[in-house]
Structure 1
Amino acid sequence: MAIDRPGRPENLPAADVLWARWALVAVLEATAGAEARGVHRGGTWIDDRGLHLDDRGSTWWTFERLGEGRYLLYGEDESSAVKWHKPAVDMLAQAPEWLPYERLRSLLEGGELGCVYWYENGAWARAPYPAGLDDDGLDCGMSRFAVREELLRDLIASERGLPRGRADGLLAAAEARGLTAAEIQEVLDAAAAAAEHVPADREAMLRSLELAALAAPDSIALQGRAGQPA
């Protein structure tokens, strides 16, 4: 499924699917060193607020869960023409009352926001765009997670060097909320055996897996915190 330019709500997969895919990457990329405070963070990660992507250059995005069945996706890619459009586009027009308006308006006032999408009652929505708007950045920012084949390609080419079968299996498990610490251990073992790949950080990956809630809590506690894979 390709993403239009500008993006349309129907271009995005269901919010829980998008969350699972993005969170899988956050788990696989997790390292303790990246959690240091006072440093502008790059890459893909998860924290108490939600999922994040920042390439320290042209694109940054945040994805938050804001209650049962409610999600918020916002950010910016340099390809977005929304904030430069004249007359100005109200990115929060027709938005629901449960959005964190103070935070979003602060980003808008600072010229840091390219688009805002929200999810409720099983559907994505955004503000209306004027005719002729070229792009809102959703394609360049989110196709890596929204388009499954793109994500598989990235997982295979990632610093973990995942074979296609393993990448497909991990992705399917994440989407089904069945990812386990044992599967993460397999990734760690494979990374350790391949000297050309970046070493994996077991504890950081397990913390991210817990935050992402892609597995039952007991599977993490039994297989992860005990220090031994299943």
Structure 2
Amino acid sequence: MTIHRPGLPEDLPTGEALWARWALRAAVGATIEDEQRRSGYRTGVWIDAEGLHYDDSGCTWWTMSRMGEGRFVLYGEDESSEVKWHEPPIDMLAGGPEWLPYDELRDRLEGNELGCVYWYEHGTWARATYPDDLGDDGLDCGMIGFVDRDRAVGDLSDRIDATTDGPGADTLLAAAEAHRLEPGLLLERLRPTDPDGDPLDLPAVARALVLAGLTAPATAPDPTPS
């Protein structure tokens, strides 16, 4: 999947799909140690009460937050973004809905930390209008790993234990995108160690799945016949 430079709202999948792909990647790497670490001191991909995060501790950082039913905000910066350097200045919040986290976004703007802002509601992404001479807003370099579904499947495949039977990465991702993932099926399929060789923290993975809202709703037991 191609992301234009600068990005276009239609380059992004639905907010629900983007959230699910990002959240699943965050969940499979969750640990209790990271859960107890403040976001400002974390790197990698993770989820917390604020939302989803991606920070490579150098070139790119991003946050995606749920802002109510069917509403999401995506913001961050990649070093490829030219938005904050453009003259005349670009108002990244122009046209934004009233429910955006303006305090957070304005703090980022004042700190010269923001590269672009996208928002999603009524099934559609939007952003401020860019001038024709803007070359890039960083969306491609920052988000391609979550926007491109094949890459998301590949990342999950790398965490799957090929010695066990069960649903494959594509099936598990589809269940997450439908917010009907059964945690047990995923946990049974994951490799026992992470890419660094450390043991997987399965309870933390399960908690992250629930926090992200990717799991199937609990089913009430059938009533006992009288």
Same-fold status (TM-score > 0.5) = yes
Q: Give 1:178 deviation, angstroms.
A: 1.8
SS in 2 for 1:104: helix
SS in 2 for 1:17: helix
* Partner of residue 226, structure 1: none
Q: Give 1:198 deviation, angstroms.
A: 3.5
SS in 2 for 1:75: strand
Q: Give 1:170 deviation, angstroms.
A: 1.7
Q: Give 1:216 deviation, angstroms.
A: 2.7
What is the TM-score with the length of structure 1 in the denominator? Answer: 0.87
CA distance in 1, matches of 2:107, 2:212: 27
Residues 217, 83 of structure 1: alpha-carbon distance in 2 compared, 3 angstrom cutoff: same
Identity %: 56
Q: Does 2:129 correspond to 1:124?
A: no
* Partner of residue 184, structure 1: 186
Are 1:155 and 1:162, in contact at CA under 8 Å, matched by a contact in 2?
no
Q: Give 1:196 deviation, angstroms.
A: 7.3
Aligned length: 215
* Structure 1 residues 155-202: Cα deviation after superposition (integer angstroms, max 9, x where no partner): 334xx3565x722122111112121121232134x325x997432101
CA distance in 1, matches of 2:185, 2:20: 15
Q: Does 2:76 correspond to 1:75?
A: yes
Are 2:60 and 2:142, in contact at CA under 8 Å, matched by a contact in 1?
yes
The one-letter code of the counterpart of 1:89 is I
Are 1:77 and 1:140, in contact at CA under 8 Å, matched by a contact in 2?
yes
Q: Any residues of structure 2 matched to 1:62-211 within 5 Å, and which?
A: 62-157=63-158, 160=159, 166-188=168-190, 190-191=191-192, 197-211=197-211
CA distance in 2, matches of 1:162, 1:89: 47
Are 2:180 and 2:217, in contact at CA under 8 Å, matched by a contact in 1?
no
The one-letter code of the counterpart of 2:105 is L
Q: Give 1:49 deviation, angstroms.
A: 1.2
The one-letter code of the counterpart of 2:97 is P
* Partner of residue 4, structure 2: 4
Are 1:80 and 1:114, in contact at CA under 8 Å, matched by a contact in 2?
yes
Residues 145, 66 of structure 1: alpha-carbon distance in 2 compared, 3 angstrom cutoff: same
Q: Any stretches of 5+ residues in structure 1 without a counterpart?
A: 223-230
What is the TM-score with the length of structure 2 in the denominator? Answer: 0.88
SS in 1 for 2:125: strand
Residues 128, 196 of structure 1: alpha-carbon distance in 2 compared, 3 angstrom cutoff: closer
Q: Give 1:154 deviation, angstroms.
A: 2.6
SS in 1 for 2:41: coil
Are 2:30 and 2:46, in contact at CA under 8 Å, matched by a contact in 1?
yes
